[in-house]
Amino acid sequence: MKLSVCIPAYNEREIIADAVRTFTSALDIIAKDDYELIICNDGSTDGTDDIARSMIANYPRLRVVGYPVNRGKGCAVRTAVMEAAGDIILYTDCDNAYGTDKIAEVLALFDADPTVDGVIGSRKADPRGYEGYTLIRKLVSKVYIVVLKLFAGFKMSDSQCGFKAFRRAAAKDIFSRCETDGFAFDIEALLIADRLGYKIKEIPVRVINHRASKSKVSIISDTLRMLRDLRRIKKHVKRCCSR
């Protein structure tokens, strides 16, 4: 069962080399030779792309894709997923926020239950899931989920956790229908998955690597943007999903 691990990267010059080393070291053990690590450069301007590409010679399972102008995390994840060749396609953040141990857990879940189409991380499902978050970030996350449940019919406990995996057929089907480039792409993908009838399982996760000072997320502006996008996403999901 080949695994594709997709990492969106925007101006990650400081950590991209360590990320490649960390993920490949873990994947060499977890997936043996049957994996690929895909870095998707989201129009970085700090040399992230050059650093990643310079490592390909020493890391043959590394692939680097991307585009020259920044478009957003959603576009980066979508691009990487559509390029991926694995039987299981997983995406997570460049800073390895949730740790590599969860990757092995995800593979075991897919192996144990062939009816599961996707496995996603949930911070709410872990008692320590929001440990280390500021009070405002915890509050915004909780309010956002309530809004999603009330106005979008969202059925799960965490939409924005940056740790998700899908079987290849489901991943290609879902992300080929996605169009959101920004941070609201997660909810779009999950609403599409639900509408198409895919079986998604949540697993508890917590952030073990915090980079609050380096976060690309603006809590207020990005939350308002995601809420603004929600109406458009609902219309798009209804329009694009018919079986």
CB burial of 215-239 (b: ≥16 within 10 Å; e: otherwise) equals: ebeeeeebbeebeebbeebbebbee
The CATH superfamily of 3-240 is: Spore Coat Polysaccharide Biosynthesis Protein SpsA; Chain A (3.90.550.10)
Q: Check pLDDT > 70 for residue 233.
A: yes
What pLDDT, on a 0 to 100 scale, did the predictor assign at position 223?
Answer: 64
What pLDDT, on a 0 to 100 scale, did the predictor assign at position 220?
Answer: 61
Q: What would the mean pLDDT of 210-227 be, rounded to a whole number? A: 60
Residue 69: pLDDT band by 50, 70, 90 thresholds? very high
Q: Is the pTM above the cut of 0.85? A: yes
Assigned token pair, 242: 């018919």
pLDDT, tens digit, 9 for 90 and up, residues 88-140: 999 999 999 999 999 999 999 999 999 999 999 999 888 877 777 778 777 77
Helix (H) or strand (E) segment spanning residue 140: helix 135-152
Q: What would the mean pLDDT of 30-46 be, rounded to a whole number? A: 96
Q: Check pLDDT > 80 for residue 230.
A: yes
Q: 44 — alpha (psi -120 to 50), left (phi > 0) or beta? A: beta
Q: Check pLDDT > 60 for residue 21.
A: yes
